[in-house]
Structure 1
Amino acid sequence: MNHPAKYEYVLNKIKDMIEQGEIKEGERLPSEIEYSKLLGVSRATLREALRILEDEGYVKRYHGVGTFVTRPRVIKSGMEELISITRLIEKQGMRPGTKDVLIERVKPTEKEAALMNIPVEDDIFRIQRVRTADDIPVLYCIDRIPAKYVKKEFNFNKESLFQYLQEDLGIYIAYAVSDVIPVKAKVKNIYKKLEMKSASGVLLLLEQLHFDENNNPIFYSSNYFSPEKFRFYIVRKRV
């Protein structure tokens, strides 16, 4: 049985070489025999590292042909983990970005007011934007924040809304209640915003109500994820 440090060493070494451009996208790796000798590890250790790299999208193995360097194009996240989109993209080794930002101070809809437990007469800030990973559009999001939480002018100029709330408004998001809903990509022409191949596809809509440590609803978000670029999973334990 191989010591975990062995395949982790190989895993991290190959990742670093790919991310630093020492191994180019599309390049074929040496054979298992050659590569295991080059790295000073057993073939079993190399295979385990390559298996994980393939799961994470760094390489693609073709039987009888070889192993080729790819680049992680699909962002993966566990549904049980509450993390900002910015941090999630960074964890994949990609650069987060934002474009097509629209910020409005408006009256909430009845649904928005009810979810955030505010009167319909109160103002909210509604933020619409496209989030990118390495300049590739990966999701379209709409966030709503009651104006009462914004003491001064709404100066949201960070990538992460979590970070803005905590650093600028002193609000820490402790948890969120989420609904996962499949919707047609042609809704609101979102497929165009996400540069999807077709309007006939399906998006994954993640509707979330975020709460602070005192169980106060702080903001309500609708995140439309492209299934071409995002994958969610959940760890299920037998009970």
Structure 2
Amino acid sequence: MEKPLYRQVISDLEKRINHLKPNDRLPSERQLLIQYNVSRNTIRLALQDLEERGLIYRLHGKGTFVSSRYLDQPNIGEMYSFSEEVRRSGQKPTTLNQSLKLVEPNQKIAEQLNLQNAEKAYELVRLRLANDQPYIYSKTYLPEKLFPSLTLDELQGVPLYDVLKDKYKQLGVMAFEDVQAVNLDKQESEYLQEEVGSASLKIYRKTINEKNVPIEFTISVARGDKFIYRSKQYNHLL
């Protein structure tokens, strides 16, 4: 299977970077558009991936440069998978799909999904467990126009992203997350088997495809005593 265009650009740029010196300047976005004959979104996705992994850094008004320290580590921009992380820790992951319904989302969610007035989205309510202990309660919103006729049955026992990719040909290539410290409300505490007001993390996650189109927006609440949120960061100027 042929790689998506942005992945092909990433692979080629990585090879070029390996032959450059720290702080060498890369071609501009406009030059890359001409060289690779792809869309601006494709170039921006590729550059964003390289920047998140510490291979390049960008200075406003000056351009894009090779990082002076190349760290040969796993891609920190990879799509996060709860199930994979739980298995990695030696525990058994479980996903309980509570409900799926077609809704007209509020303005905030509609903006995240680039929905127009009256456009609808599926609201998927899920509970994520590790060794039968609840960790995360979430509501995921999926545009109806991208996932027509989605049913709860086809999500049973199958990872959500697999269904989106295999049935609807929608592949999430990048996700953006905001994390906020909150206290559990009554409904969240019942799902997570914790006291009302317990410390937790609220995670807002938007996933886009290779065309820079939002395909998913999820609001999750994770138990503060169970869930550790890790982030790797690099100083591109060192």
TM-score in same-fold range (> 0.5): yes
Q: Give the counterpart of 2:219 among 219, 222, 228.
A: 222
Q: Say if 1:97 and 1:133, in contact at 8 Å, map to a contact too.
A: yes
2:188 pairs with 1:185: no
Aligned to 2:210: 213
1:4-153 maps to which residues of 2 (within 5 A)?
81-99=78-96, 101-153=98-150
How many angstroms does 1:106 deviate by?
Answer: 1.1
Deviations 1:116-137 (A, max 9, x none): 1011311210001111111111
Larger Cα-atom Rg? 1
Count of residue pairs the alignment pairs up: 160
Choose between structure 1 and 2: higher strand proportion: 1
Deviations 1:143-163 (A, max 9, x none): 000111124443322442212
Counterpart amino acid of 2:181?
A: P
Aligned to 2:64: none
How many angstroms does 1:232 deviate by?
Answer: 1.4
RMSD: 2.0
Give the Cα separation in 1 of the matches to 2:200 and 2:77: 20
Counterpart amino acid of 2:110?
A: A
**Percentage of matched positions with identical amino acids:** 21
Aligned to 1:235: 232
Structure 2 unmatched ranges of 5 or more: 1-74
Give the Cα separation in 2 of the matches to 1:159 and 1:184: 31
Question: SS in structure 2 opposite 1:231?
Answer: coil
Q: Say if 2:143 and 2:215, in contact at 8 Å, map to a contact too.
A: yes
Deviations 1:138-196 (A, max 9, x none): 1001100011112444332244221221122111110111111111112x531221112
Aligned to 1:176: 175
TM-score w.r.t. the length of structure 1 is: 0.61
Aligned to 2:160: 161
Give the Cα separation in 1 of the matches to 2:197 and 2:110: 32
